[in-house]
Amino acid sequence: MADYDVLTIGETMLRFTPPGVQRIDQAPYFELEVGGTESNTSVGLARLGMNVAWLSRLPANPLGRRIARTLAGQGVDTSHIVWSANDRLGLYFVEFGDGPRPTQVTYDRADSAMSRMQPDELPAELFEPGRARHLHLTGITVAISESAAATARRAVELAKAAGMTFSFDVNYRAKLWSPEQARAGCHEFAAAADIFFTPIRDAESIYGVSGDPDSALAQLQAIYPQATIILTLGAEGAIGAAPGRPAISQSVFPAGTVGRIGGGDAFTAGVLYGYLTDTVAESRLATALRWGAAAAAFKYTIPGDMPLFEKEEVEALLHSGNQAPQVRR
């Protein structure tokens, strides 16, 4: 049995948030959260009972250590973090909106310790055969810097060599790169992925797919035929297809909005959990989508970035309602 079910690599930031819907202008203090797409997914997986290692590069200062300890407290293995003596931690500021005032995010992540990670800083022992079953990466790591992208590329090579499966989430951020850059940057990862996640709106802007979800899915399958492709559709749920199998759609579980940030990462955690625990081809994708939908909905109820749920809670939600996955014709 592998030491780790899932290995994730990515950047995690300290998040500052005015209380409630106060403006940054008027808040006497900022609440602190720890947020990063890969670490959020790691927390979700750990809370669902999986062994997860999260790999990153952090400054060896109180801010960096806070990131590591917060994730360790969620059951994520942080023992492989690469500590940097000099670099800074990425930060971001979230001001929650109300009504016509949009939620406003101010990033301050340039030159972060993670953006300066080098391929040779990857710990070799994590990629020994049998050490980990699955690697999960996102497009953010590819976008933040050349060396981070090279590190991600090297991680995929090592994972493949070790017989690990691999999932990739585009996670497009317009503040980091253009759709063209994203397509170029993500291509080799998507082409290597066993599971490829993308929101339909990003599939449209990056890959130029069009039409309804079924059609968009088919177009992506044509580009990346080797991958199980999962297209998220916002309030319409998700649709996915494994190679050579019928598409399956999944509707959303009704949910609140207090914890929308990190909902997509919780979805990914649920999908990976289902994918790694149900290995029967006939049910695998349906199981994965259903866990994804339930995990995302539950996350929507939890303040902060991390999906602080118990497995039993997600399971209870999953068995409620009528959100059964539907096989598409």
Stretch that binds a second copy, among 56-64, 120-128, 243-251, 264-272 (CB under 8 A): 56-64
Stretch that binds a second copy, among 2-10, 62-70, 161-169, 237-245 (CB under 8 A): 62-70
| Min dist. Cβ of residue 306 to a second copy (A) | 8
| Min dist. Cβ of residue 217 to a second copy (A) | 27
Structure tokens at 190: 């998507």
- Residue 322 binds a second copy (CB under 8 A): no
CA-nearest of 83, 81, 85, 103 to 94 is 103
Please state, in angstroms and rounded to a whole number, the distance separating the CA atoms of residues 25 and 286.
46
Helix H, strand E, coil C: the string for 196-255 is EEEEHHHHHHHHCCCCCHHHHHHHHHHHCCCCEEEEECHHHCEEEECCCCCCEEECCCCC
DSSP state of 9: E
Q: Which amino acid is at 142?
A: V
Subset of residues 229 to 258 that bind a second copy, contact rule: CB under 8 A: 253-258
Residues 88-127, mask of contacts with a second copy (x by CB under 8 A): xx-x-x-x-xxxxx--x-x-x-xx----------------
Applying CB under 8 A, which of residues 72, 150, 218, 223 lies at the interface with a second copy? 72
Regarding beta strands 248-250 and 238-241, do their DSSP bridges make them parallel or antiparallel, or are they unpaired? antiparallel
265 assigned to active site: yes
* Choice among 5, 77, 202, 265 that is catalytic: 265
| Min dist. Cβ of residue 115 to a second copy (A) | 13
| Min dist. Cβ of residue 156 to a second copy (A) | 30
Subset of residues 133 to 162 that bind a second copy, contact rule: CB under 8 A: none
CA-nearest of 197, 162, 153, 135 to 5 is 135
Please state, in angstroms and rounded to a whole number, the distance separating the CA atoms of residues 210 and 204.
6
DSSP per-residue string spanning 150-165: HHHHHHHHHHHHTT-E
Applying CB under 8 A, which of residues 61, 147, 205, 283 lies at the interface with a second copy? 61
DSSP state of 52: E
The catalytic site residues sit at 265
Which residues would be at the binding site for a second copy (CB under 8 A)?
16, 19-32, 61-63, 65-66, 69-70, 72-75, 88-89, 91, 93, 95, 97-101, 104, 106, 108, 110-111, 253-259, 297-298, 300-304, 308, 310, 313, 317, 320
